[in-house]
Amino acid sequence: MKKKLLLMGQSGAGKTSMRAIIFSNYGAAETRRLGATMEIEHSSIPFIGDLHLNIWDCGGQRRFMNNYITDQKEHLFKDAEVLIYVFDVETRDQAAEFKYYEDCVKLLSQFSPTAKVFCLIHKIDLIKQDSRKTSSVPNVLANYKKTLGPLSQHFTPVFYTTSIWSYTLYQAWSDIAYKLIPNITMIENQLKQFRQLCGASRVVMFEKSTFLVVSHTQEHGKPNPEDDVFVRISETVKTYRQACSKIRAPLVAINIRNGPFSMFLEPFTETTYVLVVMNDPDVEAAVVKLNISSARIHFVNLADIQHT
Amino acid sequence: MYQDQPEEQLQEENYHSIDNDTKPKILLMGPPRSGKSSILMVIFEKRDQLETVYLQPTTDIVEYTMYGGIEVYDLPGISYEHDYQFIDLNLFLGENTVIVFVIDTQDDIQKSLHYLYSSMDLIFSIQPNTQFNIFLHKIDGLSEELRQDINQEIQHRIFSHMDYEGYDNSLVQFYLTSIYNKSIYEAMSRVSHKLVPNVSTLENILTSFCYKSNLDKAYLFDMDSKLFIATDSFPFASQYHQFCCSTIGLMEDLTTMYSEYQLNQSGEVFSHQVATIHLDANYSIFTFQVNKRLMLICMVRDNISKNLSLLEFNAKKVSLSLKKVLNFPDSSTKD
């Protein structure tokens, strides 16, 4: 199943940078090497199960933008599942930005009315924190919401404030990915059951190549993980994978044991990894591994059932 | 020149004075903006490399402590050599002092060399057997060919100068370094090996561990600074060293995730950590925590899942003997 995902916004807003960070393992600092995107760059990325993300990275120069909303409008906006519109908080011409957004959403509602709209307020690291808090992040977000709400036709856009220099970008994309997975509630329930069956205190399912969090579940009464815990894991594992590729030995699995505590990061289905955190000294490592491999078969079938 | 300093000032110095003459020390010297402070900040403060771009020149002596109580001093780089008289080098130069001299390979090398020569004159006049470790730094910006050329040229020039002055050539050693890769960790580790007591015993223990347990390579790492204290005597491959550095980073990040979590329950800090990492191509990494600061990292070219408990047992024995040999005076020996 392919999902068409439009990535739009003014030139220099950071569309290609975020695509490179999330999908091509770029570091935040490496993105300054990226040049401007000409016309539209297509990339197809296999995601959870049989879901493929067809990303249309639309170059944001005015010339291209005008093309998008005139000649190419049908080609571009037809059958789109998702529109991700990136707003640059440092933009010089905000009025034009809002105008283009309005045009795009109008066309989207015409050609694919069931699409989802996400607005990323990007580069929030550049918002200066002053003492009067007039330009704090929540304020900026509220301003954008107020202006963009009426422009959004019948869509109810979801807003995120993001920056490539913090975990916010990863979180926003995790959230977007989560909303795209068709049988997510089923996966979530099954994962919860799996956690209970093997007595783990926490189970997290990651997408394999991007390491975005697909779903996570934990014991009742346990503190919720901090926001950036998963992004830290994801980033660490991603950089470690790069280190592994340097010695030509791709990473397969990690297992850390420490007193009563143990964690297992194992490949799960073809497109996912699973992290199992145990807090029970009586459970042998081999048992957990056995559990994971038996659950693997079940979860692979789960994707198939949905498909047929 | 240092004798010119008035006696009173000597006593007022709050730096460690003559009584710890034999204390192991590393002095970082070099011309201004050669990257001395950046090196130490990356290693000991875990700063991001890009952050160090904005560093201001160091004006005061900065001290760091390494494993085994090795003291590391960052001496301010001063534009001309005579200013070293304001820092009383006599206080720093003991029997167990090694110099790290940083040369910026992307800068005017002639100037740096003059700086080096005058520092050498000064230091050899105080402590004739001081070892110089010369870091040919910021090597990342140069092409492979240029690196070799510069390396050769600098070595040649320094050696001919030393011959001319009648210094012992064997006191100087060269390292190609950059903070943008792990070469700086390797070089610093090598330097510190000169100061770690019983380093050859540690090496022997690790070598026999490798033989007995069928390991490819075993390192004893200091977790905080990512420097390795000892490794076995098999050929050293810097790419595997780099990989081990990454492994430590991974361990650190993954354990911070659950250390807080565990604290919430029992209030206990984690103790002995054992980890196995499976890589493709039948490669595995096995890590074993020796104490709070030290960690054994082994590379195995074999499927270790079969005899993991045996390996763990061996590692436990090895870590016991390592602890005995090291017998660090500071808190690092406490479990």
- Contact state of B246 with A239 under an 8 Å Cβ cutoff: yes
Taking the CA of residue A10 and the nearest CA in chain B, the distance in Å comes to 28
Specify the DSSP class assigned to residue B302. Answer: S
Token pair listed for B332: 């690092």
Higher-scoring residue by pLDDT: B60, A272: A272
Strand residue runs (E) in chain A = 2-9, 40-46, 52-58, 80-88, 116-122, 158-161, 202-207, 213-218, 251-258, 261-267, 272-278
CATH number assigned to the domain comprising residue B294: 3.30.450.190
Residue of B238, B277, B299 to mutate, testing the A interface (most A Cβ within 10 Å of its Cβ): B277
Specify the CATH class of A184-306 in words: alpha beta
Say yes or no: B309 contacts chain A, CB-CB below 8 A. no
Residues 6+ apart with CB under 8 A from A169: A18, A21, A22, A162, A163
Residue A228: pLDDT band (50, 70, 90) is low
Same domain? B171 vs B234: no
Which residue in A232, A250, A279 is closest to B280 by CB distance?
Answer: A250
pLDDT at B67: 74
- Please check whether residue B57 lies inside any domain of the structure: yes
Domain count, chain B: 2
**Burial level of A115, CB count in 10 A (0-12/13-18/19+)?**
buried
Picking from B131, B165, B193, the residue at the C-terminal end of a domain is B193
pLDDT at B1: 39
Q: Residue B136 is part of which domain span?
A: 25-193
Say yes or no: A245 contacts chain B, CB-CB below 8 A. no
Residues 6+ apart with CB under 8 A from B53: none
CB B228 within 8 A of CB B220: yes
Same domain? B58 vs B179: yes
Cα radius of gyration (chain A): 21
The answer to whether residue A307 scores a pLDDT higher than 60 is no
Average pLDDT over residues B181-210: 84
With CA atoms as reference, the chain B residue closest to A257 would be B274
- Contact state of A261 with B242 under an 8 Å Cβ cutoff: no
The answer to whether residue B9 scores a pLDDT higher than 60 is no
The answer to whether residue A37 scores a pLDDT higher than 50 is yes
List, for residues A134-181, the tens digit of each pLDDT value.
667 777 777 777 777 777 777 777 888 888 887 788 888 888 888 887
Sheet with strand B71-74: strands edge to edge: B62-65, B71-74, B25-29, B97-104, B131-137, B172-176
User: Per-residue b/e over A275-300, b at no fewer than 16 CB within 10 Å?
Assistant: bbbbbeeebebeebbebbeebbeebe
Same domain? B184 vs B208: no
pLDDT at B259: 58
Same domain? B79 vs B99: yes
Higher-scoring residue by pLDDT: A131, B33: B33
**Percentage of chain A surpassing pLDDT 90?**
0
- Please check whether residue B9 lies inside any domain of the structure: no
Picking from B138, B173, B193, the residue at the C-terminal end of a domain is B193
Taking the CA of residue B52 and the nearest CA in chain A, the distance in Å comes to 14
Say yes or no: B106 contacts chain A, CB-CB below 8 A. no
| Pairwise CA distance, residues B137 & B147, whole Å | 10
Pairing relation of β-strands A52-58 and A158-161? unpaired
**Burial level of A306, CB count in 10 A (0-12/13-18/19+)?**
middle
List, for residues B289-321, the tens digit of each pLDDT value.
887 778 888 888 776 667 778 888 888 888 888
Say yes or no: A244 contacts chain B, CB-CB below 8 A. yes
User: Per-residue b/e over B89-108, b at no fewer than 16 CB within 10 Å?
Assistant: bbbbbbebbbbbbbbbbebe
Taking the CA of residue B281 and the nearest CA in chain A, the distance in Å comes to 6
Domains in chain A: boundaries: 2-178, 184-306
Same domain? B183 vs B40: yes
| Pairwise CA distance, residues A25 & A241, whole Å | 10
Token pair listed for B113: 């060399």
Say yes or no: A261 contacts chain B, CB-CB below 8 A. yes
List, for residues B257-272, the tens digit of each pLDDT value.
665 555 444 444 556 7
Token pair listed for A49: 């199960």
Which residue in B239, B262, B283 is closest to A246 by CB distance?
Answer: B239
CATH number assigned to the domain comprising residue B180: 3.40.50.300
Taking the CA of residue A115 and the nearest CA in chain B, the distance in Å comes to 37
| Pairwise CA distance, residues B22 & B78, whole Å | 27
| Pairwise CA distance, residues A87 & A96, whole Å | 11
pLDDT at B70: 80
Same domain? B286 vs B217: yes
pLDDT at B334: 39
- Contact state of A258 with B256 under an 8 Å Cβ cutoff: no
Same domain? B55 vs B189: yes
Cβ contacts from A onto B, under 8 A = 91
Tell me what the pLDDT averaged over chain A comes to: 79
Picking from B170, B193, B216, the residue at the C-terminal end of a domain is B193
pLDDT at B219: 87
Taking the CA of residue B246 and the nearest CA in chain A, the distance in Å comes to 6
Contacts of B246 in chain A (CB under 8 A): 239-240, 243
- Please check whether residue B1 lies inside any domain of the structure: no
Helix segments in B178-298, DSSP class H: 183-193, 199-213, 238-266
CB B283 within 8 A of CB A249: yes
Say yes or no: B156 contacts chain A, CB-CB below 8 A. no
Question: What sign does the dihedral B94-B100-B102-B103 (CA atoms) show?
Answer: positive
- Please check whether residue B16 lies inside any domain of the structure: no
- Contact state of B243 with A244 under an 8 Å Cβ cutoff: yes
pLDDT at B15: 42
Residues 6+ apart with CB under 8 A from B101: B29, B30, B116, B119, B132, B133, B134, B135
pLDDT at B83: 55
Higher-scoring residue by pLDDT: A232, B143: B143
The answer to whether residue A12 scores a pLDDT higher than 70 is yes
Same domain? B178 vs B218: no
Same domain? B45 vs B185: yes
List, for residues B94-118, the tens digit of each pLDDT value.
777 888 888 888 888 888 888 888 8
pLDDT at A304: 58
Pairing relation of β-strands A272-278 and A213-218? unpaired
Sheet with strand A52-58: strands edge to edge: A40-46, A52-58, A2-9, A80-88, A116-122, A158-161
Say yes or no: B271 contacts chain A, CB-CB below 8 A. yes
- Contact state of A239 with B273 under an 8 Å Cβ cutoff: no
- Contact state of B274 with A232 under an 8 Å Cβ cutoff: no
pLDDT at B281: 72
Which residue in B250, B270, B277 is closest to A236 by CB distance?
Answer: B250
Contacts of B250 in chain A (CB under 8 A): 236-237, 240, 254
| Pairwise CA distance, residues B2 & B84, whole Å | 9
* CATH number for the domain formed by residue range(s) A2-178: 3.40.50.300
Pairing relation of β-strands B25-29 and B71-74? parallel
- Contact state of A258 with B272 under an 8 Å Cβ cutoff: yes
CB A190 within 8 A of CB A302: yes
Same domain? B233 vs B154: no
Contacts of A248 in chain B (CB under 8 A): 281
Token pair listed for A201: 């205190």
ipTM greater than 0.95, yes or no?
no
Contacts of B303 in chain A (CB under 8 A): none
| pTM for this predicted structure | 0.74
pLDDT at B5: 42
Specify the DSSP class assigned to residue B198. Answer: T
Which residue in A232, A261, A277 is closest to B270 by CB distance?
Answer: A261
Which residue in B247, B256, B270 is closest to A259 by CB distance?
Answer: B270
Contacts of B47 in chain A (CB under 8 A): none
Which residue in A229, A240, A246 is closest to B257 by CB distance?
Answer: A229
pLDDT at B3: 42
Could you count the other beta carbons within 10 Å of the beta carbon of residue B13? 12
Contacts of A261 in chain B (CB under 8 A): 258, 262, 270
Lowest mean pLDDT among A222-231, A250-259, B190-199: A222-231
